[in-house]
Amino acid sequence: MSQQNAHSVRKEIENASSGAQPIRGDLGASILGPQNVPLQRENPDLLASPWTDNGTLPNLKFSFANSRNRLLTGGWAREVTIRELPIAKDLAGVNMRLKPGAIRELHWHKEAEWAYMLAGTARITAVDDQGRTFIDDVRQGDLWNFPTVTPHSIQALDDGCEFLLVFDDGNFSENNTFLLTDLFKHTPREILAKNFGVPEKAFADIPLDVEHERYIFSGQVPGSLFKEMPKSSAGPVPQTFSHHMMAQEPIICPGGWVRITDSTNFPAASTIAAALVNINPGGMREIHWHPHDEWQYYISGHGRMTVFASGEHARTFNYQAGDVGYVPFSMSHYVENQGEEPLLYLEIFRTNKFTDFSLNQWMAMTPPELIQAHLNVDKSTVAALHKDKQILVGS
C-alpha cells in the first residue's frame, strides 16, 4: 500500500470514529477532507439525510449562537432576522439579557413587540395613544405584547432576566428602534426647552455620542410595583399588555402538553399567536400544517423536523436549545423529541388566531374507502388511521 493510500485509510478510520459521517446503510462515504465535527453532530439529518428527503428546500434553521452579540453595560442582545434567515419574511426575533437593575432604554418600534420570559424577572412599562399607563412585573413563562408604535421600557429586577422578543416583520432590526436618547440628541435644545417649558441648560448633559448611548445600560433595581405605579389622569390601559401563559390550563395529550395563547385569551396580542409545546421523550408533535408561516424557538431538549413542500420536495432538520426554526405556510411538518428530556419550544405566527390542520383529523373525517383507495393499505390500517386530532403523539 502506498503512503498516500495508507494516509487515506487512516483518515477514513479517524473520521468514521467521530460518529458524524454522511453514511446511511450502504449509501454515502466518510469524509476525508476538512470537517466541523461538532456541527455535523448537531445536524445528523443534514449530513446523512433520511431517504424520504428529496429535492431542494431553503434553509429553515438558524441558531442565536451564530448571531453577532451586542454587549453593553447592562447586558446583551442578539437577533435573527431576514438577514440571518432569509426565508423568515413574516417574523424576526431578538434574544436579550439584562443584569439586575439594567434598563432596556425607553423606545418604540414600527412593529408590534411580543415577548416570552425565559428566565428571571423584569418590570415592563408602557403608555398608550390615550395617555393611559401600564406597568407590571413579569417572570419566567410570562408574555407581553406592545402594539405598534407604543412607547415602552423593560427593566430587570433583583435576579436579572433573559427573554425572547418576536416582531411581526422579518425585516425588523433591534438596531433601528426609536430611542428616547436618540430623539433628544437630534432635536434642537431650544425646541426641547420650548416643548417642556424648561431652560435650554437643562439639557446640557444629554448623551451625544455612541460611548454614552443608553440602549441597554446599568441601573438600580426599582422599588415595589405599588410605589412605582405612575399617577395618570387618563387611568390605566383598558386591556393588559402582559399575560401569564403558565397559568393557563394546558391541553394534555399522550405525548406531552400544549398551551395556546392568541387574541382569544390575550386580546393585546392582535398580530401574533403562539403555542408553547412540551413533547415528552419519544413523543412528537403530530403531522400538520398552518395557513400562516411558523417561526419556532427551541427552549430545551433536542428535536427533529421534516418539512414537506409538495412537488416531491422534503428536508429534515435537527434543533436544540437556542435554535430558530421556520416553516412556510401550508408546508406539512412534524416535530419529534429525539432526546431523553422533554423538548420545549414555541410556535409563533403573524396572525391573531392560532390555527392548524391535522393529518390525523383529516384521515379521521374522511371516508375509509377513500383512504384505502389512495394508500393501498388494509382495513385494519385504515381503522388505525381513523382517529381524531391528537396534537401530541406519545411514543
- The letter for the amino acid at 267 is P
Instruction: Tell me which of 194, 224, 243 is where a domain ends.
Output: 243
Confidence bin at 11 (pLDDT 50/70/90): very low
Q: pLDDT value at position 175?
A: 82
288: CATH: 2.60.120.10
Per-residue pLDDT tens for 227-270? 777 666 677 888 899 999 999 999 999 999 999 999 999 999 99
Q: Are residues 33 and 143 in the same domain?
A: no
**Which set of grid coordinates corresponds to residue 339?**
432526546
Q: What is the pLDDT of residues 184-222, one digit of tens each?
A: 999 999 999 999 999 999 999 888 765 556 899 999 999
Would residue 377 count as lying in a domain? Answer: yes
208 and 326 share one domain: no
3-state secondary structure of 116: strand
Contact 360, 390 (CB under 8 A): yes
Shared domain for 135 and 175, answered yes or no, is: yes
Integer CA distances (angstroms), 269 to 70, 89, 263, in order: 28, 19, 5
The DSSP letter of residue 169 is: -
The last residue of a domain, from among 187, 210, 243: 243
Shared domain for 184 and 284, answered yes or no, is: no
Active-site residue, from 42, 111, 336, 347: 347
Domain that holds residue 38: 3-48
Residues 258 and 223 in one domain: no
DSSP 119-137: EEEEEEEEE-TTS-EEEEE
What per-residue confidence (pLDDT) applies to 308?
Answer: 97
40 three-state secondary structure: helix
Q: Is 228 assigned a catalytic role?
A: no
Res. 17 pLDDT band, cuts 50 70 90: very low
- The pLDDT assigned to 263 comes to 97
Cα of first residue to Cα of last residue in the chain, in angstroms, is 50
Does the pLDDT at position 8 exceed 90? Answer: no
β 70-72/152-167 pair status: unpaired
